Amino acid sequence: MFTISSHAISDTGRRRPANEDSVVTRPALGLFAVCDGMGGHAAGEVASRAAADTIEAFVQHTDGADATFTWPYGFRPDLGIDGNRLVSALLLANREIFQRMADDAALRGMATTAVCLLLARPAWSSPSGGGDDEPGGEPTWSSSAMVAHVGDSRAYLWREGVLEQITRDHSWVEEQIASGALSEDEARAHPWRNLVTRALAGAEPPDVEITPVALERGDRVLICSDGLTTPLADTAIQETMNRLAKEPVEALCQALVDDANAAGGPDNISVIVVEVA
């Protein structure tokens, strides 16, 4: 069993007038999420905040749920409880965005990406000797976790000096990289680099991608918007994470944001780092 520490920073960047990203950090729930809004200043912010709030509310509502819970979009046994919690949360967020646009024509066309990390439900180590389900001490977590995403916000696993991307971008340039038409460096500079192929946009329910992750002591999970990964190559992110491997997660988050801004800060930058100890 493990304990965790975490920190989040969401920064406007150097070129945008406002921040359309939204973040969720709920350590007691094991939930961490980044949503990157699209559709103009006001609408993008509304979309990302609506998604973040809906995801957080559903994960909290289903804390301790089992397969007998009435799942709003059905239950997929292959995903387990936590996989189904995340899929339903993101699909409900998509429905909430649809409802917001139906209620306000000025919001039509808004959308958001979303990437979420959900740790397995904790046991509680109570100083008063309470049971596993009684909060009162430090929560301890198992090694299992789930990542869900729609769009090009990303999750990475850093382990023993190596950074590995957990998610696969749902974007036009990612499709071109996969086909060999673009290199990763070319994709970061391509004028269509922000064209996503999946998003929470209030239309048809998106295909939510779920990835199980087995965690080990010493791991760090990085969750971020493309404001970090567009100006910085994975090698640069890995270098910073290695350089600050023994520093607190607060220092690492700030360094990553500073690096993105030093590289031009073309977009809003949201970073969450979760450390397993």
- pTM for the model stands at 0.91
Place of tokens 């969720």: 24
Token readout for 36 is 């990157």
Residue 37 CB neighbour total at 10 angstroms: 31
- 29, 25, 24: which is closest to 51 by C-alpha? 24
Question: Could you tell me how many residues make up the chain?
Answer: 277
CATH architecture for segment(s) 4-276: 4-Layer Sandwich (3.60)
Tell me what the mean pLDDT of segment 227-236 comes to: 96
How does pLDDT run across 8-66, given as a tens digit for each residue?
999 999 999 999 999 999 999 999 999 999 976 679 999 999 999 999 999 999 999 99
Beta-bridged to residue 158, according to DSSP, are: 163, 220
Q: Do 47 and 108 contact (CB within 8 A), yes or no?
A: no
**Residue 133 confidence class, pLDDT cut points 50, 70, 90:** very low
Mean pLDDT, the chain, integer: 92
Give the range among 19-23, 27-31, 178-182, 194-198 with minimum mean pLDDT. 178-182
pLDDT per residue over 205-217, tens digit each?
999 999 999 999 9
Of the candidate ranges 109-118, 122-131, 164-173, the one whose mean pLDDT is the lowest: 122-131
Centre a 10 Å sphere on the Cβ of residue 105 and count the other Cβ atoms it contains: 8
Please state, for a pLDDT cut of 70, what percent of the chain lies above it.
94
Cβ atoms of 171 and 192 closer than 8 Å: no
Least confident of 188-197, 221-230, 232-241: 188-197
- Contacting residues for 185 by C-beta, under 8 A, at least 6 apart: 233
